[in-house]
Every structure is written in C-alpha cells, then in structure tokens.
Amino acid sequence: MAIDAAFPGTTLAKYGVVLPVGGNGDWDAGMVESPAVWYDSSRSMYGMVYTGYGRTDTTRRGYKFVTGPRVGLAWSTDLLHWKKDANNPILSGSGVPQSTDSRGVSGPFMWSEHGTYYLFYFGVTGAGYEKGTKTLNVATSHDLSRWTRYAGNPIIAPSGTGWRCDAIWHPNIVKRGGTYYLFFNASGVAGGKEEEFIGYAVSDDLFHWNVDDEHSPIVTGSGIKGTWDASGRAGDPSVFSADRKWYMAWYSWDKKNTSDGLAWTSDEEFPRGWRVYEHNPVLTIGAPGSYDAQHAGKPFIVRTRDTHYHFYTAVALDETRQIAVALSPR
C-alpha cells in the first residue's frame, strides 16, 4: 500500500465495518454498499445514503440472491458509529412500467442546498442486481422522507457509441463558484476497450447537465496485465480539494479483486488534467477471512479538521457486502 505524505489519504488504517447488512427479513439483509456522506447542518449530524438489497435466499449471499436496489439513510455524530434511519428505505423503484427507475434505485449521492435535498441516483429497469438500462436521475425533498422525482429524468442517459454508450453509474458532485461539476462513471468504449470509465458534466441548476464528451473519459484504468487496474476500469469517483489541488478517489479491479486509487489535478486545470497517482492503489483487500478479503472499493471521501475518512464497500469471500471505513491523519 502506498505511503506518501504529499498526497492525502495514502496512510490509511482500516477501522472496520461501520454499516452492516440488515438481519434476516430486513429490507437490506442481502447487501449494503455505495456510501455517500454529507454533514447535515439542520440536524448537526452526518448523514449517509447507501444502497441496500433484500435477500431472496437466507442460506446464500451474492449478486444472484438479492432483490432490486433501494436507497437507505443512516446517521452519525462521529463518522464511525452509525444508526440506520427508522423510515428506511427512503427511496425505492417507482414500479411504473417504462420509467427510468422502474425496478430499483442505486448509487446514491446527496446534495443539500437552500433547504432542499437533492438525491442523485442511477435507476435500473431490470430485476436483481443492477439489471436493465442504467440512467442518472434526481429526486428532491424538504424532509428526507417525501421525495419528488424530477419530471425531466433521466438527467444523463447512455449516448453515442463511445465511452458512455451502454450505462450510467455513480454520481459525485462538487461546486466551484456558481458551477456544479458532476463526475460519474459510465460503461462504453474508450481506447478500443469496453469497460467503465470516469467523465464529467456541468450545470448551473442541478437539473440540466452538459456532458463533456469531447474531453471524457478523464480517468481510465491502465489495462496493463498484472497491475491493480488491469481491467482498464475506473469507477465510482469521489472528488475533494486540498492544498489548492483537486483529488479523486476511484476504484478499479484486476479481474479478481477491487482496490481504490487516487488521481489529482491542479486548481487551474480542474475539471480536466487528471493524473493517476503513481503509487496506487491506496486501499487494498484484507487477509483471507476478513470482512474485505474479496473486494475493497467504491470509495467516498470525507475530510474533517484532523482526519481523512475513506469509506468503501467491503466484500468478504462469502460475498457478504457491507460498508467499512479506513482513516488517516489529515
């Protein structure tokens, strides 16, 4: 694992699972994954939205034995101890035939501004784990309970024959000046390879997005045999700023295990100019038998005054999928 004092989040120490799967019969008993965290000033607490799946077979785990995805909510005062919201799940598939999220909602990201919560997510149209057409959507709420789907959904859909021709995945938004930048991974073709790659879109209102297909993808895996990113995949971006630079945590896989890495760009070049950190990965799988022995990926970064929190999806060898965190000094 890389250690580099010049780069934030490279001295990570694993803390453990912070959001486990639910008990048998619970709506999220199958698996939980894809955390996205924000500080809710109206509650003086940290909120986490995440994807949860029910369990269709109480004797087996994994992709084949889960229901459609739904979005849950959890709360914490210290980023380490989390309590699931009593009203979970807060958003489910619409159930409306031909709608963009008829069979489920996944990959959530929360944006809060001027008393309104904006829940970004990708919708699925097939039964099971991430099946059917995947598009990016948004819903709004004032109380985190009653949600209104944007009438113009999807806000980003598969398009063309290039990097996002097949599917749209996890969103991550930052604001710079009066402009919102939405970083997301999509499935398509780039450099002659079919995989997932990271690109971006811009908006001035959170609803209407212009995808920069000319300069996307902005981050890809190396595709070099024997490396941590041998697949060529780059997924689930989490973007943050530090010391007048911009950083992106992202995951890849070597066709067996997933790990997390970093990329960076200068303040002047943002939102383009990304360089892949030369000592990736910064987060790798654990020892056999551990909670993340199979996969340690899908990052989400939170930085407080003194600590760097690297949330991720931890998958054990029996395919138990939960949310964990690793820490480093800021």
Q: What is the pLDDT of residue 1?
A: 46
Q: Is pLDDT larger for residue 43 or for residue 6? A: 43
Examine the pLDDT at 26 and tell me if it is beyond 50: yes
What mean pLDDT comes out for the span 281-306?
Answer: 97
123 alpha carbon, distance to own chain's centre: 14
Distances in Å between the Cα of 305 and the Cα atoms of 245, 308, 328, 330 are 17, 9, 12, 7
Examine the pLDDT at 30 and tell me if it is beyond 80: yes
Examine the pLDDT at 189 and tell me if it is beyond 60: yes
User: What are the pLDDT digits (tens) for 219-269?
Assistant: 999 999 999 999 999 999 999 999 899 999 999 999 999 999 999 999 999
What mean pLDDT comes out for the span 168-192?
Answer: 97
User: What are the pLDDT digits (tens) for 195-205?
Assistant: 999 999 999 99
Whole-angstrom distance, CA of residue 247 vs CA of residue 276: 10
- With 0-12 CB in 10 A as exposed, 13-18 as middle and 19+ as buried, what is 288? exposed
- With 0-12 CB in 10 A as exposed, 13-18 as middle and 19+ as buried, what is 142? exposed
Q: What is the pLDDT of residue 56?
A: 94
Whole-angstrom distance, CA of residue 11 vs CA of residue 264: 17
Q: Is the peptide bond before 281 cis (omega within 30 degrees of 0)?
A: yes
What mean pLDDT comes out for the span 41-48?
Answer: 96
Q: What is the pLDDT of residue 197?
A: 98
Q: What is the pLDDT of residue 330?
A: 84
Domain residues of the chain, as ranges?
13-329
Examine the pLDDT at 54 and tell me if it is beyond 80: yes
Confidence of residue 5 (pLDDT cuts 50, 70, 90): low
Angle CA(290)–CA(295)–CA(299) in degrees, nearest 5?
Answer: 115
User: What are the pLDDT digits (tens) for 79-118?
Assistant: 999 999 999 999 999 999 999 999 999 999 999 999 999 9
Examine the pLDDT at 2 and tell me if it is beyond 70: no
Q: Read off the tokens for 47.
A: 């909120």
Examine the pLDDT at 3 and tell me if it is beyond 60: no
Q: What is the pLDDT of residue 6?
A: 74
Q: What is the pLDDT of residue 9?
A: 95
Whole-angstrom distance, CA of residue 100 vs CA of residue 118: 17
Domain 13-329 has CATH 3.10.150.10: no
